[in-house]
Amino acid sequence: MILAIDTASRALSIALGDGRGVSFAAHQLRSRGQAENLMPMIERGFRATGSTAADLTGLAVTVGPGTFTGLRIGLAAARAMRVALNIPLLGMTALEVLAADAARRFPDRPVLAALDARRDQVYAQMFRRAEPPFAECWSAPVAVAAEGAALMAVSGTVLIGNGAALVASHVAGQTVVLNGVEPDARHLLRLAAARSLPSCPVPAPGPLYLRAPDAKLPTRR
C-alpha cells in the first residue's frame, strides 16, 4: 500500500491505495492549518481502510513548486515516515501531478500546468500529449510572468491549475482552461504506483523552490 501526500499549494490531500486503485482519498482547500490536519487525515485514512502505517510499502509526496510552508509540512511528514518505516519515498512535482490530471481528461492534447506564484507570476511547465497517467515533459518548470508562460502554449493546449486563468488571459490561440484545479494526491498515488516504487529505500527527495521566499530576515545595523 502507498500513501501519497500533497501540501504544495492551496490544498491538503492524501490518498491510500495500490496499483489496482485508490482505497481512500481526502482533499481539503485550506490557506492554513495543514500541519495540524495532515496527521489526523492520515489516521482517518488508516481507519477507513482497516490498515496501519506498518502496512505501507511506499510513500509519495509533492516536492513543489508551491508555498514554502506547505512544502516543508508535506516533506517533513513524508521523510519522518520514510525513516521510521524504512520504506521508499518518491518525490514528484506538483506540476507533474496537475499534468497527469489533465492527461486523464484530454489524453490527445498538450498540457500547460500553472500554479499561481503571486505578483502576476506563475510556476509553469509544458507537457506533450501522452497516454495517461503520464504526461511527457516538454520544458523545465519555471517561475515566470503569466504573459511569458502564455508563450509556451500552442493551439489546443489544456491549461490546468490555480494559475490557468492568469495564463489564459494572455493566450491568443484556442485553449481548454481548467482553472482553480489544485494538485490532488489521488493522481500522485496513481503516478507512484505506475512508476513502480523501488524495492529498497532511496535518498529522500528535497523541495523544488523556483524563487526566493517573499519573507526576508531583517538586516543587522
Structural domain includes residue 212: no
Tell me, what's the pLDDT at 89? 93
Q: Do residues 77 and 110 both lie within one domain?
A: no
Q: Do residues 81 and 112 both lie within one domain?
A: no
- Residue 54's CATH number: 3.30.420.40
Tell me, what's the pLDDT at 208? 85
Tell me, what's the pLDDT at 132? 63
- Overall number of domains in the chain: 2
Dump the DSSP string for 130-179: -STT---B-S--EEEEHHHHHTT--TTPEEEETTHHHHHTT--S--EEEE
Count the neighbouring beta carbons within 10 Å of the beta carbon of residue 18.
Answer: 14
Give the model confidence (pLDDT) of 38-47 as tens digits.
999 999 999 9
How far, in Å, CA of 163 to CA of 179, rounded? 7
The predicted model gives 203-217 an average pLDDT of: 68
Structural domain includes residue 215: no
Burial class (CB in 10 A: 0-12, 13-18, 19+), 50: exposed
Tell me, what's the pLDDT at 134? 66
Q: Do residues 77 and 45 both lie within one domain?
A: yes
Statement: residue 107 has pLDDT above 90: no
Structural domain includes residue 36: yes
Hey, what's the cell of 66?
508551491
**Can you give the residue range of the structural domain that contains 125?**
94-179
Structural domain includes residue 206: no
Q: Do residues 134 and 189 both lie within one domain?
A: no
Alpha carbon 25 to its chain centroid, in Å, reads: 15
Give the model confidence (pLDDT) of 3-13 as tens digits.
999 999 889 99
Cβ atoms 16, 188 nearer than 8 A: no
Cβ atoms 123, 66 nearer than 8 A: yes
